[in-house]
Amino acid sequence: MPNYDPNNIFAKILRGEIPAFKVYEDDHVFAFLDIMPRAPGHTLVIPKAPARNILDISPEDFAHVARGAHKIKMKPHLARWTARQVPDLESIKLR
């Protein structure tokens, strides 16, 4: 199996090298609007722990991802936006 690539697109987003429309962040996860959404509001929630895929993370990190997804689910203010349409990033951030 290949090793973790620290230059993958998600690692670059986490380091701020590639812009993203952040909707949630804590010590363990980062959530942002998908640039090619399946539907308005399509949000990606990724662990901050290095991982090739979701099966590579620890059960604790997996739980953090699930809690992060739960915090942003069903937010009506996210449902109308895609990453290409956001007029005011501050208006969609979770408080």
Cα 89 versus chain centre, distance = 15
| Helices assigned H by DSSP within 6-92 | 9-15, 59-72, 76-79
| Tokens standing for residue 68 | 């992060």
The pLDDT of residue 75 is 66
CA 48 – CA 29 distance, rounded (Å): 5
Sequence-ordered strand ranges (E) for 1-94: 22-25, 29-33, 43-47
**Grouped pLDDT means (10 residues each) for the chain, 95 residues:** 88 95 93 85 92 91 94 67 55 47
Please, are residues 24 and 72 in contact by the beta-carbon 8 Å criterion?
yes
